[in-house]
């Protein structure tokens, strides 16, 4: 399992890769910690759940110059401090440099996010001119 994209991503923020099959699928885990909470009851900000799904999508494509172009996701349940989130991402269509990636995030057997991410495989880094 070689990570070829987002090599400096901090696993404490976006998750730890569990499984990667290049241009096919990936699984990533992230433990919800206190710093992610938005209130005293331990509700986790949805941006962390989204970030986990995004990272899983990038790893499913696993190209050095993959970027997220668009997403359509739905949050289906809350995440709490202490929850272990597991994201699954699967490339469902390939058209040239465009990839549609189905994403789901679970806490145990409960789905907390579902959607699709449109990724683009570029020929150079997005910040290069």
For residue 47, being part of any structural domain is answered with yes
d(CA 2, CA 38): 34
Q: What is the DSSP letter of 37?
A: B
For residue 101, being part of any structural domain is answered with yes
For residue 6, being part of any structural domain is answered with no
Give, for all 129 residues of the chain, the pLDDT tens digit: 899 999 999 999 999 999 999 999 999 999 999 999 999 999 999 999 999 999 999 999 999 999 999 999 999 999 999 999 999 999 999 999 999 999 999 999 999 999 999 999 999 999 998
The number of distinct structural domains making up the chain is 1
Range of the domain at 69: 11-121
Hunting for tokens 């994209």 — which residue is that? 5
Is the pTM above the cut of 0.85?
A: yes
For residue 4, being part of any structural domain is answered with no
For residue 2, being part of any structural domain is answered with no
């Amino acid at each position: 399992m070689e990570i070829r994209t987002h090599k400096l991503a901090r696993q404490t923020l976006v998750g730890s890769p569990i499984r990667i099959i290049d241009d096919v699928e990936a699984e990533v885990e992230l433990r919800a910690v206190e710093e992610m909470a938005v209130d005293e009851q331990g509700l986790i900000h949805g941006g962390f759940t989204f970030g986990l799904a995004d990272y899983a999508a990038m790893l499913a494509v696993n190209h050095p110059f993959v970027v997220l172009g668009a997403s359509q996701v739905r949050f289906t349940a809350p995440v709490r401090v202490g929850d272990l989130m597991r994201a699954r991402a699967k490339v469902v269509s390939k058209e040239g440099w465009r990839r549609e990636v189905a994403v789901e995030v679970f806490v145990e057997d409960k789905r907390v996010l579902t959607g699709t991410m449109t990724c683009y495989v570029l020929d150079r880094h997005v910040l290069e001119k």
